Structure 1
Amino acid sequence: MPDHLILRLEAPLMAFGGTMIDANGPTLEFPLVSLVTGLIANALGLRREEREAHQRLQERIVMGVRIDRPGTELRDFQTAQLSARDKGWTTRGEPERRAGGAATYKSPHIRLRYHRADACVIVAMRLEPADEFPTLADISAAFEYPARPLFIGRKPCLPSGPILAAPPTEAENVLAALSAWPLAWTTQGRTRRDATPEESITVVIPAAEPRPAGPHRATRLTDHRDWISGVHAGESELYVFRLPRASFPPHEGTRL
């Protein structure tokens, strides 16, 4: 059986970027392959200009996610008063400045950024082929001692705990790896004493992976990034379904 790595994405705020239109930056309920690729690359210390390494890493990732705690969506309304001399760094590695006449600088630059607040998502992933660098062992070591500070989606989104949940573990597929991992602690009991956790858990896996019998929703998402050109251009078919909480081991211990 192939080895799978379990990642735990949990933070006060996270951003799982969706398709951005103008200055409106949405967030999904779960991370895409491109986000996990960037997260791993940051832990390994890859530089932005190492585009082929990013591209190859993304091509090898097979992953599924389990939304233990969906959290709530939060909209961040951002403004900045910029002058003609102000510059901003871009992912192209070159500074960018505003253009236009003098009147264009009288109004602030406005944008919307959406986040997931108090969410917890479990990621199960493997690499194909498994023996190419980086291996799962290399990624595990990088998450224990990352080359740079890690963030989940956007730089202010710092994880509330270690991202590496478990070292490489054998499992038949990503669903089996997700099914073997204990559920996360839920905040509902703390915020409302009479509240109970949701009876079922959302799981998202690639359409090529085995799935249980029962109702599911097939969706196509632009989840791959063309790291060479710097744009999202790859689409995948995913299956989204819900499983009873009893399908997974209960969370271990009590969190105050």
Structure 2
Amino acid sequence: MPEHLIFTLSAAFAGFGDVAGHERRGSWTWPGRSAVLGLLAAAQGIRRDGDFAALDALRLAVAVFDTGAALRDYHTVQTVPSAVIKRPQSRPAALRRAGKNANTTISHRDYRAGVLYGVAVAGPGLPALAAALEAPAFHLYLGRKACPLNAPLAPRIVAAETPEAALCHLRLPPWAEGLTAQTLYADDGPAERVETRHDAPLDRRLWHFAPRAVAVRSVHIAPKEAA
């Protein structure tokens, strides 16, 4: 019977990718492949220019217990016309030089407030990943650096035929007692429908991602154990 590493992702605020423009950063309702692999890399102390080969070989499934509520924030952003930039020059110096010629725009950020997900990971090296999640090398956050986790991940390795069967053994936070997951997003396996998600990492330093097919299926995952 195959083994799965399972853990929970819970946060008061989260932000999950979407195709980003200069003035708008949207958010999906669940963490995609790049977000989960990035979290696992941070736990192991792998930097953005490090070796991700072992992580890229993993198979993931994400169960949605609570997508939270949509929330939008905004930032005031100033840019400097290229005509007034002298290099080398710091950003504060460039803004002072630009004066009233600086361009001011509003940049929107979409978040999810009060989210909870379960993740099942299959592949090699699960014990080392579980140990890293127990004592992460870097600070872990859910999508964006302003979104720290608000509960232990409670990682554990279980043997199960399917990701959904493994996720029934999750340890949910105490306040999530009684919650069930109705939807599972998986890298492979049976699908009731297929979605396209731009979250397959191509170049992590340049934030380039490729589209991939995601298998979506209805489930009933009702963990009984609290973290």
Question: TM-score, normalization: structure 1?
Answer: 0.73
Match of 2:189 among 198, 205, 209: 209
Match of 2:127 among 109, 127, 137: 137
TM-aligned CA distance change 1:229 to 1:197, over 3 Å: closer
- Describe the superposition over 1:206-225 as per-residue Cα deviations: whole angstroms up to 9, x where unpaired: 3x3145xxxx2211111211
SS of residue paired to 2:31: coil
Alignment of 1:187-206 (within 5 A): 201-206=182-187
Q: Give the counterpart letter for 1:111 in structure 2.
A: S
Alignment-derived partner of residue 63 in structure 1: 60
Q: Give the counterpart letter for 1:64 in structure 2.
A: A
Q: CA RMSD in A?
A: 3.1
TM-aligned CA distance change 1:232 to 1:58, over 3 Å: farther
- Describe the superposition over 1:49-71 as per-residue Cα deviations: whole angstroms up to 9, x where unpaired: 22xx12x1342121111110111
Task: Name structure 1 gaps, 5 residues minimum.
Answer: 89-96, 190-195
Distance in structure 2 (CA, Å) of the matches to 1:204 and 1:73:
20
Q: Give the counterpart letter for 1:108 in structure 2.
A: T
**Structure 1 residue 126: deviation in Å?**
1.2
Distance in structure 2 (CA, Å) of the matches to 1:47 and 1:237:
27
SS of residue paired to 2:167: helix
SS of residue paired to 1:65: strand
Q: Give the counterpart letter for 1:7 in structure 2.
A: F
**Structure 1 residue 251: deviation in Å?**
4.4
Alignment of 1:1-256 (within 5 A): 1-50=1-50, 53-54=51-52, 56-81=53-78, 86-87=90-91, 103-105=100-102, 107-127=103-123, 130=124, 135-163=125-153, 165-181=154-170, 201-206=182-187, 208-210=188-190, 216-227=192-203, 230-243=206-219, 247-252=220-225
Distance in structure 2 (CA, Å) of the matches to 1:176 and 1:109:
48
Question: TM-score, normalization: structure 2?
Answer: 0.81
Distance in structure 2 (CA, Å) of the matches to 1:228 and 1:114:
22
Task: Name structure 2 gaps, 5 residues minimum.
Answer: none
Distance in structure 2 (CA, Å) of the matches to 1:228 and 1:112:
23
SS of residue paired to 2:155: strand
Q: Give the counterpart letter for 1:209 in structure 2.
A: G
